[in-house]
């Protein structure tokens, strides 16, 4: 399959990063969102991140200009129908993703590959709601997309080998490394990472340590670049909780029970960096632990 044009649904943190790496690798990108403000912010973010790459001599000013020229934005989801590959990078809610695919499917070319950037939802189940389960895959990028080298590739039960091989080649062209995962709840990275974060929240909840000591312990004791609570704030506590629910529901094991304190933070709207408060308060000059 020849992939030249790529449609991306969702211009948020993940969507704009995916648009960035595809356009930089030479693909023509059509970026969609439901709000013009989101598209404007996405283009500003892409330009800022390209500037950072230019300043570090990773790319040239010409590369930056060419990359930006390859990205077009649209508020109309069905405009993506004529692209060769569509990657859905909307919010981590299955009903939202299903509605996107339902709207999009009647407008797709027969050869278009559909992919989801979901971090935990069943690829087989998402694919079954479309007209092309054999041309459907999970393509899970890590955040921040321009920096992180890994992409998880997840085949649904019906995904054919041609689709898988095509996506494998695309990941290589993006300059990234693919890790192939089976279609089980949360795949590889989040199956390991999010329960670790949940356990860190339990450690806080049970008073074993405060925010600062827990993060310091893992940074200096396990050589992690970020502490687990700092990382949770970066990911978004709502996303962490959603993935824990997927693990708990999908595997029916009590070890995946979300920590009540994580639930409480999400109920408060303290979702991390994106809302200004999570396990740290980001509203001042420097982040301050909230517990």
- What are the tens digits of pLDDT across the range 126-159? 999 999 999 999 999 999 999 999 999 999 999 9
Would you place residue 60 in the very low, low, confident or very high pLDDT band (cuts 50, 70, 90)?
very high
| Arithmetic mean of pLDDT, 192-211 | 98
| Arithmetic mean of pLDDT, 49-69 | 97
Which parts are annotated binding residues for NAD(+)?
Answer: 10-15, 33, 92, 97, 119, 143, 274
Q: What architecture (CATH level 2) is domain 5-182? A: 3-Layer(aba) Sandwich (3.40)
> What span, in angstroms and rounded, lies between the C-alpha atoms of 128 and 157?
10
Q: What is the pLDDT of residues 82-98, one digit of tens each?
A: 999 999 999 888 999 99
Would you place residue 1 in the very low, low, confident or very high pLDDT band (cuts 50, 70, 90)?
confident
Percent of the chain scored above 70 by pLDDT?
Answer: 100
Annotated active-site positions, please?
119, 140, 152, 190
Which parts are annotated binding residues?
Answer: 10-15, 33, 92, 97, 119, 143, 274
pLDDT at 51: 97
Q: Return the CA Rg of the chain.
A: 19
- Residue span(s) of the chain under CATH 3.40.50.720 come to 5-182
pLDDT at 92: 86
Q: Is 193 in a helix, a strand, or coil?
A: helix
- Residue span(s) of the chain under CATH 1.10.1040.10 come to 191-289
pTM metric for this prediction: 0.90
Q: Are 277 and 290 in contact (CB under 8 A)?
A: yes
pLDDT at 147: 95
> What span, in angstroms and rounded, lies between the C-alpha atoms of 45 and 34?
17
| Arithmetic mean of pLDDT, 113-131 | 96
Q: What architecture (CATH level 2) is domain 191-289? A: Orthogonal Bundle (1.10)
């Amino acid at each position: 399959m020849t992939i030249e044009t790529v449609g991306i649904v969702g211009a948020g943190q993940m969507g704009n990063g995916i648009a960035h790496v595809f356009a930089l690798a030479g693909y023509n990108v059509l970026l969609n969102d439901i709000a013009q403000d989101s598209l404007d912010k996405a283009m500003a973010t892409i330009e800022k991140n390209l500037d950072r790459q230019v300043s570090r001599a990773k790319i040239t000013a010409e590369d930056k200009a060419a990359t930006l020229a390859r990205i077009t934005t649209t508020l109309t989801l069905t405009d993506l129908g004529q692209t060769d590959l569509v990657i859905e990078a909307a919010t981590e809610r299955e009903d939202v993703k299903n509605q996107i695919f339902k709207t999009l499917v009647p407008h797709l070319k027969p050869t278009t590959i559909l992919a989801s950037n979901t971090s935990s939802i069943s690829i087989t189940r998402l694919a079954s709601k479309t007209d092309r389960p054999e041309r459907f895959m999970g393509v899970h990028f890590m955040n921040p997309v321009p920096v992180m080298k890994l992409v998880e590739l997840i085949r649904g039960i019906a995904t054919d080998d041609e689709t898988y091989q095509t996506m494998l080649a695309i990941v290589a062209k993006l300059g990234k490394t693919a890790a192939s995962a089976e279609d089980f709840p949360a795949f590889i990275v989040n199956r390991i990472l999010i329960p670790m974060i949940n356990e860190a929240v339990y450690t806080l909840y049970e008073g074993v340590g405060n925010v600062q000591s827990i993060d310091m312990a893992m940074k200096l004791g396990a050589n992690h670049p970020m502490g687990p609570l700092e990382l949770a704030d970066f990911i978004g506590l709502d996303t962490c909780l959603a993935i824990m629910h997927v693990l708990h529901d999908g595997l029916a094991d009590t070890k995946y029970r979300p920590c009540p304190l994580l639930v409480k933070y999400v109920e408060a709207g303290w979702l991390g960096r994106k809302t200004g408060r999570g396990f740290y308060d980001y509203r001042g000059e420097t982040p301050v632990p909230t517990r």
